[in-house]
């Protein structure tokens, strides 16, 4: 989580001190990068998504949780390992989507957080069928 930079004295001003990157920052970067891949419908299991949609309706609760839902990280000073749980759209190649997710997540985390990503583990927990309603949409319609 901490990056030491430069010597105490005489180094370039930008290299004096240290930069701390919180785990949640890496979590959000990975989550957003994964969602940007075509074929990824959502992150997290159905239960986690439904609980998240309930929390999002409560003012002040669950802020920023959407970006980290379905994302687990272990972040060290120089490396990171990432676990993702995704839902894919029906009809896409799951192996192709998983490969693209890995590439996008690794690129984003390494570029933005400066951590060497040693692994991105992906669990596909569901497939979104074209005629399935979102859990939140169904609840709103029933009211």
Cα–Cα distance for residue pair 118/69, rounded to 1 Å? 21
Please, which residues bridge with residue 128 across strands? Answer: 89
What per-residue confidence (pLDDT) applies to 135? 58
* Region for residue 125 given its phi and psi (left: phi exceeds 0; alpha: psi -120 to 50; beta: otherwise): alpha
Q: Profile the chain (143 residues) by mean pLDDT over runs of 10 residues.
A: 56 84 96 97 71 50 70 95 98 98 98 97 96 60 44
Q: What is the pTM of this model?
A: 0.74
Tokens of 8: 């105490």
């Amino acid at each position: 989580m901490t990056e030491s930079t430069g010597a105490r004295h005489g180094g370039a001003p930008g290299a004096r001190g240290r930069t701390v990157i919180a785990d949640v920052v890496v979590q959000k970067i990975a989550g957003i990068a994964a969602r940007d891949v075509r074929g990824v419908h959502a992150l997290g299991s159905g239960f986690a998504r439904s609980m998240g949609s309930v929390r999002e309706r409560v003012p002040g609760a669950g802020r920023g949780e959407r970006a980290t839902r379905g994302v687990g990280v272990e972040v060290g000073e120089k490396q990171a390992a990432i676990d993702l749980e995704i839902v894919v759209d029906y009809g896409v190649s799951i192996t192709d989507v998983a490969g693209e997710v890995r590439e996008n997540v690794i690129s984003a985390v390494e570029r933005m957080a400066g951590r060497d990503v040693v692994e991105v583990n992906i669990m596909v927990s569901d497939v979104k069928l074209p005629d399935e309603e979102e859990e939140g949409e169904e609840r709103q319609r029933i009211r």
